[in-house]
């Protein structure tokens, strides 16, 4: 297996797997009465890991698209790139507004990011 492809798949697994894990854990941690600082510390650590994984996924994904001669416009790859762009924009918005946004809104944004991540997997399977 190509090293770039391996790094891409690992980065995508870390990023998306983390989103799925957080979707399950954060409500349970809140319900258990965890202090808000514990939740924030976990979110900060996940943020460091997920932004790194996302960056690697984007860079390696663009490298792979180039290696395989895919056009980034008008194809499944182009759609995938736009969906990933939307995920990055939403994740950035979420991170920079999290302290001022109610938990329900933060959860809804993360839910949309997770749905877009699943859509990205579906698009990748069609390539």
Quote the number of domains for the chain.
1
Range in 8-22, 35-49, 82-96 with the lowest mean pLDDT: 35-49
Neighbours of 41 (CB within 10 A): 11
Q: Are 57 and 16 in contact (CB under 8 A)?
A: no
Give residue 114's domain range. Answer: 3-125
pTM comes to: 0.81
Q: Are 61 and 8 in contact (CB under 8 A)?
A: yes
The pLDDT tens digits for 40-76 are: 888 889 889 999 999 999 999 989 888 777 777 767 7
- Return all residues near 18 (Cβ < 8 A) that are at least 6 apart: 46, 49, 50, 53
**What pLDDT is stored for residue 1 in this prediction?**
61
pLDDT of 7 strictly over 90: yes
Residues of the chain above pLDDT 70, percent? 96
**What pLDDT is stored for residue 47 in this prediction?**
86
């Amino acid at each position: 297996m190509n090293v770039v492809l391996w790094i891409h798949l690992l980065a995508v697994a870390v990023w998306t797997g983390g989103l799925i894990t957080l979707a399950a854990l954060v409500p349970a941690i809140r319900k258990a009465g965890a202090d808000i600082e514990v939740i924030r510390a976990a979110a900060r650590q996940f943020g460091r890991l997920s932004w790194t994984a996302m960056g690697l996924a984007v860079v390696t994904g663009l490298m792979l698209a180039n290696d395989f001669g895919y056009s980034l416009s008008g194809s499944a790859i182009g759609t995938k790139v736009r969906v990933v762009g939307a995920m990055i924009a939403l994740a950035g918005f979420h991170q920079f507004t999290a302290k001022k946004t109610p938990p329900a809104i933060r959860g809804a944004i993360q839910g949309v990011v997770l749905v877009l991540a699943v859509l990205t997997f579906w698009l990748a399977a069609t390539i």
